[in-house]
Structure 1
């Protein structure tokens, strides 16, 4: 809509005083029926609304008619002063006409009705009854309601096309509304004027735009069954539904631009990975890229062969792997099975990371725009910071379950719908959706869900303290919604969670020691991948390069502190500030080293460290919870800056925000060439040497420190099983969680040799132990790549252990079973 097209509202007739009902009729070239329509409306309004000056007004919004429509309305207005004409100089569309008419109205209620009266004015009684229901802000006549009566149908083809178009609009724009395009609507007057003042569409899409506005504001809309009759000469054509979709696309252009920028940013981060998916390996991923590609591959293999997706014995032989107890992200790996089978798990890995980061940013943008700020670009800035904050980027090296978090904002939104004052509360519907969303998040990542729940709880408690009246009002609908959510989610996740905690190869906890918390200094320093990052400094303050869980940088923290002080009167700002501060405090761990001293004091995590679920959490990761509240504070500040009346002040303030964010802008992930798969494996030669029902044992046995053999298995189409591997599994009688398979004497020996230790003297005791280990692994073939680090020493060691020299085949040495 151009600037000159913005309507200037006509002032309501002042002599009418307060008007109970305004009727707005958009009209374009309606000379044949505008007269009878006005007479029918006037007669019904006099009889059923009142004859007083303030009972009703009837506004005809003429859309630049080229016939006698305006002339006839003017004549009617001369006879009945409560009829008014609002004219446009030229035809702009139904949306522009409705906007002009509604903004010129002054009624406590506003009725929109088409000039053809396809829905008779007598149906107003039903809409009025619905509008009297508690909290209902709009009642719309719905032709699709099962109780509606269609007295005269359109042609069969036209009706089918119309239904198809309406369903498409509902699906992409306003799901839950049966009939978006019926022109018979009764709206609360003030809310109608607010909605139309904010509208931008000039065509048929105005109906959808207004419904979307009411939905965003949380104003309930009731659909009411009505009588409807197709009128000959109707200007609505089936093709107009496509025009509506086009208008809605233009309406969403800003949001699409934001999404495009997020995707571009994510692609730039992973440009090295995408450059050559066959050989590129994220340099700081450790062995995690091998592990994740294996997770995607094994899920696709299980799904395509109709096997249990919660378990596999392809690695960790003979015990296997409890996949539900590992981070396989079934919520993505299962639906992406076709991609994995067709293009390979490396493509799935790159897609999940790239689209996951962009999608997470878009979800935070949507949440922030919906609940916190009015401006699109402040919300976009907040969404970017929430998804691309330094801790998230650190995990984006290797942990998609911690950076692909697009469901968390949707879960937060449903929780807010249940308890936010002034919004439509539908505990059943929102509870069901909250349960479904929560169940799905369990299949994306349980630990990030737990951390998000901690953040939501901190925010809820903080908000209840600063706004106790709102908290009291929210208790019942929130409790009801959470109860319904539990009833929905528990049956979905019950068996998978039982399998995770009590099924084969389940474990109780993974302990990380009492020094896994963040250093207080980490919060004010910069992460390795940040624009101002110092690799050496970050390495000193983090567990590893994928666990830089703080590193927000002092400028961002100072900016957020300033915004919090500036906007402290807002309860949400208080709650966000407290949430970030407490999460940062908890992330300091069980022991806190005071920077610059040798003093160590007890940390807050000691209260949670040994509690169920929390015992397996790396406490430093709680620092990731700070990303969202800090991002929201920045969005609040940027949104407030938008309203500065002086351009110089506005520019200076925005420069301050930019200066605080520039140091933590993420830089592209470096890549390296991945270790090549031995030709012996890649070309399938191994199949001639491996007996059926036996395992292929890579030398050394794969473990979390060296898991390239997982990539061998992927390249071999998951055709063989192997011992060892990289996963979480049980160890010992207490089934304590460890990384990798339960170690054996032989696997430890070979790992030590690979790491540089000299092998011990191999005597009969070692040979007997090796035979026991090989039988345990059900070994049928030992494979040592010739380019393996310390290959000659490993070859000599294995030769002594099995008592015979290897056979050289292509680019490997092999020892064939049996091993008795």
Structure 2
């Protein structure tokens, strides 16, 4: 029998054994003897079951007879390692595990609160492909005898909240002192550990989790033993230790990736980011004006304690149902202080740049946690997920399709539900996440749910065993999530679907699906392969280039699927991508270069509630994260291979597929100066308290610069018309402006054609009715194309000429007919 001190512990001495048992001990003279008797007696009686074995007692600087009790035993299989002073359980375990030779290593406390016979249950779990089997007092099937002091129970539960955040997702009881490990892996994990206290259990399990070594949680019999060495103040010490461990969970590589994503986003928006008040993204069409108005009106409503779901500043007198528009209250509300301080252009610019980077980071975290451990591969996959051509197209104009950081979090939480470990807690968290996403954008959430449904269906076919185990906790968790989410959003959704200015569905054409060629072509903003004419011919407009992944990436993805077909995840991702691509073609699919048209799978969804308002081409955006995950899997496999030729060909193919997708910075131009009439307050002399200012032509989706002028005037006046989603006609079908009137339609036609109709008394009478409906105090014509024709038309309608005031023509209706 030998005794070793700290400095003497190095590599294990002697041949390997089948099982090593490590017992940490500090002043355990009274309890250690019976524990050694039980352990060694059980192993001697079952040598046919366990083979060769050893017991390592790690004495952490005891001042009683603990060491002498061990050395007095005349069995070479019982070994003592000692520390010159007491440093904590973590230090003792690190010494003890380092001295083991076992192919498997059992760690048990000196009080043997879990009977040694429970080793059979742990060994069975380890034999099913695990690297660690931990005894648990918290999973179904566990039994506990006796109770701790009430204060210890409360402190233990409080500490467990932090422990669960740091350790392995889904593990309920990390601190049970009865664990069986694969020998080589546990020696590696303890060698890498740094904590000296109880936090060592969490640190080691976290090492296993990050290395993707499977951990099983096994129910055991447990009895609380008297004589615990844990003092009340020790809880504070271990929580401090765990907090320090939590602070170290962020790897430098992850911080570097976050910084790179921020730089990528800043580069994309560089044309507007550094001077947002005076720069405009022309490919946003009129959407930048609209979104700045959304930010401004939210801040205005909050500052004036007005209803955040409604405004009559546009579309006067009917107003705008803001909840029925994508106002993104989840961002416009928290950004309201910045909006009030620096203006909506700054808020929108900062929000989109940070939101895009945050989305990339969220996809990166999901891929690292669930798909690959190789961080460079995860970076490439997340880059494609967040910066794919469809996302770049929407980055011009649609924050709701750029700021998607909640979607990966929702996906990850749904996957946790499938594990069935903390269904109640995960269901509540998922419900809160879904609530927040509803206030960020409902259409992205709907598309994400569609993508997850495709994935789940494919996974159920590929892995029916996993599906059978997952469907009950998943459905239970979704029910809990719904129970949490629905009450929180009920009022907002009631306002959206049944409140003033609500509508049924949005008109966007009979078929807004993608052409099959758009899936293989390159987007307009491709740095090396962009073709503006072709991209616009295959899409609705520059903000809706919803596919454009390029034929090289499609070929590479096909090669990855063929090469890695044996992996169920690859097959499932392939089905998800193909399914989303087919759905994105719309209800009618026209075969390129022919007149043949066939029904598309989207026809099954096109008339369903919610889906009827979706621009179906956007479904192809689901392919971006899916393709990113396939690339990450391929890159991880290439990194692991030792065949240089395979690596070269694989990396070359992936590079050639991704280079055409690198986006050029978004186009930005100098913003036209706002007429002084709006900025210096001259408009105030023409608009009464309950009146509107009619800016000719009335703003709509084709021309909405008037929204910017209204914002520059501090939202001080109301105006008819606008660029928003509102109802039209008795069926309340959604359109992208206010319900048109005869006079607004005529003035719009004059603006675009320069042709003035014959204006007689009928037109003048109609104009008076429309002016009265709008409660117009004055009409304004600013310099613009065909403004001469507009001035003539307005003069004939009003019956008197206008007045030039601070850069605009004004007709004061208080003086006229």
TM-based fold match above 0.5: yes
Residue in 1 that maps onto 2:344: 345
Among candidates 551, 555, 569, match of residue 552 of structure 2: 555
Structure 1 residues 748, 251: closer, same or farther in 2, change over 3 A? closer
Distance in 2 of aligned mates of 1:362 and 1:560: 23
Distance in 1 of aligned mates of 2:699 and 2:794: 15
Structure 1 residues 611, 235: closer, same or farther in 2, change over 3 A? closer
Residue in 1 that maps onto 2:493: 497
Q: CA offsets, 1:300-340, max 9 Å, x none?
A: 22223332211111111111111111111122222222222
8 Å contact kept, 1:218–1:424: no
Alignment of 1:620 with 2:614, yes or no, is: no
8 Å contact kept, 1:77–1:84: no
Q: CA offsets, 1:577-618, max 9 Å, x none?
A: 111112111111122222222333333322222222111111
Q: Secondary structure at the match of 1:362?
A: helix
Structure 1 residues 769, 536: closer, same or farther in 2, change over 3 A? same
Alignment of 1:328 with 2:327, yes or no, is: yes
Distance in 2 of aligned mates of 1:752 and 1:734: 25
Distance in 1 of aligned mates of 2:643 and 2:122: 45
Residue in 1 that maps onto 2:427: 431
Alignment of 1:44 with 2:35, yes or no, is: yes
Residue in 1 that maps onto 2:111: 121
Distance in 2 of aligned mates of 1:228 and 1:676: 80
Residue in 2 that maps onto 1:656: 653
Alignment of 1:81 with 2:83, yes or no, is: no
8 Å contact kept, 1:382–1:631: yes
List gaps (5 residues or longer) in structure 1.
1-6, 26-33, 114-119, 153-159
Alignment of 1:202 with 2:194, yes or no, is: yes
Q: CA offsets, 1:437-479, max 9 Å, x none?
A: 2222221111121111111111111121222222222222222
Among candidates 766, 784, 789, match of residue 793 of structure 1: 789
8 Å contact kept, 1:315–1:721: yes
Mapping 1:580-619, distance limit 5 Å: 580-619=577-616
Residue in 1 that maps onto 2:141: none
Residue in 1 that maps onto 2:502: 506
Residue in 2 that maps onto 1:288: 287
Residue in 2 that maps onto 1:474: 470
Residue in 1 that maps onto 2:634: 637
Residue in 2 that maps onto 1:443: 439
Mapping 1:283-432, distance limit 5 Å: 283-419=282-418, 423-432=419-428
Mapping 1:91-170, distance limit 5 Å: 98=93, 101-102=96-97, 104=100, 106=102, 110-111=106-107, 121=111, 137-138=133-134, 148-149=148-149
Among candidates 539, 542, 557, match of residue 542 of structure 1: 539
Among candidates 449, 453, 477, match of residue 453 of structure 1: 449
8 Å contact kept, 2:38–2:116: no
Q: Secondary structure at the match of 1:730?
A: strand
Structure 1 residues 667, 209: closer, same or farther in 2, change over 3 A? farther
Structure 1 residues 298, 214: closer, same or farther in 2, change over 3 A? farther
Q: CA offsets, 1:58-103, max 9 Å, x none?
A: 546699x9x999x9799949855344467999x9999787556446
Q: Secondary structure at the match of 2:340?
A: helix
Structure 1 residues 548, 134: closer, same or farther in 2, change over 3 A? farther
Alignment of 1:763 with 2:755, yes or no, is: no
Distance in 2 of aligned mates of 1:664 and 1:96: 52
Q: CA offsets, 1:677-729, max 9 Å, x none?
A: 22121122322332112112222211111111111222222222111110011
Q: CA offsets, 1:120-140, max 9 Å, x none?
A: 7365679979x9899995468
Structure 1 residues 37, 506: closer, same or farther in 2, change over 3 A? same
Alignment of 1:701 with 2:691, yes or no, is: no
Structure 1 residues 83, 791: closer, same or farther in 2, change over 3 A? farther
Residue in 2 that maps onto 1:528: 524
Distance in 1 of aligned mates of 2:754 and 2:671: 25
Structure 1 residues 660, 122: closer, same or farther in 2, change over 3 A? same
8 Å contact kept, 1:528–1:534: yes
Mapping 1:643-722, distance limit 5 Å: 643-722=640-719
8 Å contact kept, 1:22–1:108: no
Structure 1 residues 376, 281: closer, same or farther in 2, change over 3 A? same
Q: CA deviation at 1:50?
A: 4.0
8 Å contact kept, 1:139–1:222: yes
Residue in 2 that maps onto 1:189: 181
TM-score by length of 2: 0.84
Q: CA offsets, 1:387-443, max 9 Å, x none?
A: 111111111111111122111112222222222xxx453222222222222222221
Structure 1 residues 475, 750: closer, same or farther in 2, change over 3 A? same
8 Å contact kept, 1:395–1:546: yes
TM-score by length of 1: 0.84
Q: Secondary structure at the match of 1:307?
A: coil
Q: Which moved more, 1:337-346 or 1:735-744?
A: 337-346
Among candidates 9, 12, 20, match of residue 10 of structure 1: 12
Distance in 1 of aligned mates of 2:114 and 2:426: 30
Structure 1 residues 169, 177: closer, same or farther in 2, change over 3 A? farther
8 Å contact kept, 1:92–1:203: no
Distance in 2 of aligned mates of 1:112 and 1:122: 7
Distance in 2 of aligned mates of 1:324 and 1:687: 30
Q: Which moved more, 1:208-217 or 1:166-175?
A: 166-175
Structure 1 residues 227, 753: closer, same or farther in 2, change over 3 A? farther
Distance in 1 of aligned mates of 2:380 and 2:29: 50
Residue in 2 that maps onto 1:23: 23
8 Å contact kept, 2:189–2:207: no
8 Å contact kept, 2:122–2:180: no
Distance in 1 of aligned mates of 2:439 and 2:227: 47
Distance in 1 of aligned mates of 2:661 and 2:296: 34
Structure 1 residues 618, 251: closer, same or farther in 2, change over 3 A? closer
Q: CA deviation at 1:149?
A: 3.7
Residue in 2 that maps onto 1:155: none
Distance in 2 of aligned mates of 1:195 and 1:627: 40
